């Protein structure tokens, strides 16, 4: 029997579109892999085999009529539990929302369906999608399939763990402070945080987001190959005016020189030797592919990270406190208390000043990208953290926040970032983050493909149990 679950999305879609394999065959194989691998990692927390097979049969029926089933025809994709999927609960990892069943698809989910993808299952997130670790009182604890002693990342930890273990070729994730990029790093796969407005998203099941979420939260893909990121990004980006921030931007921008800035320690970030080695190795890979790479300082991330935290907490302090008390998730309560301690309550002037400064930071970064179309930065200052390290002590939480500067600082500007996995330190993944100007995901893909071509950790993997 063909192990379809090992194949990238691009190959699966080609096989199904050429009718060399049926979508139902692929779906059955994906469900078998889910049943075999998921018990060890708890990445997928809700799936319905009959629904999966019905979706696949519909793809095959479309093909049988001679109609186009879409660029992702029959490709198994997972959806994070914080996005509306019709008929499923949008739990966001909360007992409070276990019965919040969506009546319509989030635009990103609808776009995946239109592209022919088969929605395989719903992936885990921490309570409130609040952490770089994935555990909650409703769905339980997600483990990293490469090493259960390290975090799978968060908040899209279930998505990245599933992709790394071969449960679906692509995972949907969301990112407001690293929730796509960091899980990809921790699980040894690739992840794209797109430009604000690229991929339409909106949950009809919840209230309109406050301005911080509107300016910084995005959906994007996690995958094992850069080609699969390209494919799923294009599918996810289709028009849907339910998201007022969606922009009909061209998929590719004007030609740009192959010049990259290598930023080892942005604003004094305490980059570990293993991470620095991965950064320098990636720079050499790009140079071998014809790029000019110069070591440089990048524009500010530290003050944008502080403004980001202020906007997070302005939203959370207004509406989350009651829910935190009701949910009584010990991890979320601890993390929120630490964040509040690091970020005093702003008055109206401080809030307005923060939003005003955003324009200056966007301008500075866009001017930087005129000289260096791509920047190479750490994903994190450290190798993936020991699992649950953030709730071990206030001191550990503060160390982790400092290590995640490049995760938290970027979203304020609405810029895209792509994490490329590059290797392993023992069995712990390492990689780099690539940055580019707004709507220049095409440059990120080009650079990432050059890095990927020189070698990445083998995947998918069978979950390591100890």
Given a contact cutoff of 8 angstroms between Cβ atoms, the answer to whether 296 and 261 are in contact is: yes
Cα–Cα distance between 261 and 2 in angstroms, integer?
43
Helices (H), 188-225: 211-216
DSSP 101: B
Cβ atoms < 10 Å from Cβ of 350: 13
Provide DSSP, 218-254: EEEEEESSHHHHHHHHHHHTS--TTSTT-----SS-S
Q: Residue 307: CB partners within 8 Å, gap ≥ 6?
A: 354, 357, 358, 412
- Which residues are catalytically annotated? 80, 155, 179
DSSP 3-state assignment of 89? strand
Longest dimension (CA), the chain: 64
Count of all residues that appear for the chain in the document: 466
Given a contact cutoff of 8 angstroms between Cβ atoms, the answer to whether 201 and 219 are in contact is: yes
Helices (H), 189-301: 211-216, 226-236, 273-288
Given a contact cutoff of 8 angstroms between Cβ atoms, the answer to whether 137 and 95 are in contact is: yes
Cα–Cα distance between 157 and 269 in angstroms, integer?
24
Cα–Cα distance between 136 and 128 in angstroms, integer?
9
CA 39 to chain centre: 22
Which position has the token pair 């483990």? 143
Q: Residue 207: CB partners within 8 Å, gap ≥ 6?
A: 319
DSSP 386: B
Cα–Cα distance between 177 and 186 in angstroms, integer?
15
- Identify the CA nearest to 91 among candidates 132, 121, 127, 120: 127
- Identify the CA nearest to 377 among candidates 425, 426, 416, 424: 416
Given a contact cutoff of 8 angstroms between Cβ atoms, the answer to whether 43 and 155 are in contact is: no
Provide DSSP, 128-171: GG-SSS-EETTTEE---SS-TTB---SSTHHHHHHHHTTSSSEE
């Amino acid at each position: 029997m063909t192990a379809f679950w090992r194949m990238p999305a691009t190959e699966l879609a080609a096989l199904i579109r050429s009718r060399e394999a049926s979508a139902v065959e692929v779906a059955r194989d994906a469900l078998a892999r889910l049943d075999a691998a998921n018990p060890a990692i708890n990445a997928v927390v809700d799936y319905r085999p009959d629904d999966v097979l019905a979706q696949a049969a519909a793809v095959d029926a479309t093909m049988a009529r001679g109609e186009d089933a879409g660029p992702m025809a029959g490709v198994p994709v997972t959806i994070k539990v914080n996005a509306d999927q019709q008929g499923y609960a949008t739990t966001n990892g909360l007992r409070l929302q276990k019965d919040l069943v969506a009546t319509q698809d989030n635009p990103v989910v609808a776009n995946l369906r239109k592209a022919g993808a088969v929605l395989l299952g719903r992936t885990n997130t921490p309570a409130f999608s609040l952490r770089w670790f994935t555990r909650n009182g409703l769905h339980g604890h997600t483990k990293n399939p490469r090493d259960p002693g390290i975090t799978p990342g968060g908040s899209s930890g279930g998505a990245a763990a599933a992709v790394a273990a071969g449960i679906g070729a692509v995972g949907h994730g969301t990112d407001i402070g690293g929730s796509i990029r960091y899980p990809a790093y921790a699980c040894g796969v690739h992840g794209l945080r797109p430009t604000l407005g690229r991929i339409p998203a909106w949950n009809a099941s919840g209230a309109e987001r406050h301005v911080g979420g509107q300016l910084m939260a995005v959906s994007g893909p996690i995958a094992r190959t850069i080609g699969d990121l390209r494919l799923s990004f294009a599918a996810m980006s289709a028009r849907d005016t339910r998201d007022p921030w969606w922009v009909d931007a061209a998929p590719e921008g004007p030609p740009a020189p192959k010049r990259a800035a290598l930023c080892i320690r942005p604003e004094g970030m305490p980059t570990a030797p293993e991470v620095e080695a991965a950064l320098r190795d990636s720079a050499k890979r790009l140079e071998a592919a014809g790029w000019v790479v110069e070591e440089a300082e990048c524009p500010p991330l530290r003050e944008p990270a502080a403004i980001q935290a202020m906007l997070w907490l302005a939203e959370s302090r207004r509406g989350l406190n009651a829910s935190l008390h009701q949910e009584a998730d010990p991890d979320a309560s601890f993390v929120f208390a630490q964040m509040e301690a690091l970020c005093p309550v702003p008055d109206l002037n401080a809030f307005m000043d923060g939003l005003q400064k955003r324009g200056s930071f966007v301008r500075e970064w866009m001017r930087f990208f005129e000289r260096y179309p791509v920047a190479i930065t750490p994903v994190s200052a450290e190798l993936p953290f020991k699992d649950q390290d953030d709730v071990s002590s206030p001191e550990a939480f503060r160390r982790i926040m400092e290590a995640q500067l490049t995760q938290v600082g970027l979203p304020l500007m609405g810029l895209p970032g792509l994490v490329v996995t590059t290797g392993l330190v023992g069995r712990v993944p390492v990689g780099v983050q690539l940055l580019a100007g707004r709507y220049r995901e095409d440059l990120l893909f080009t650079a990432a493909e050059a890095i990927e071509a020189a070698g990445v950790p083998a995947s998918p993997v069978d979950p390591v149990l100890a």
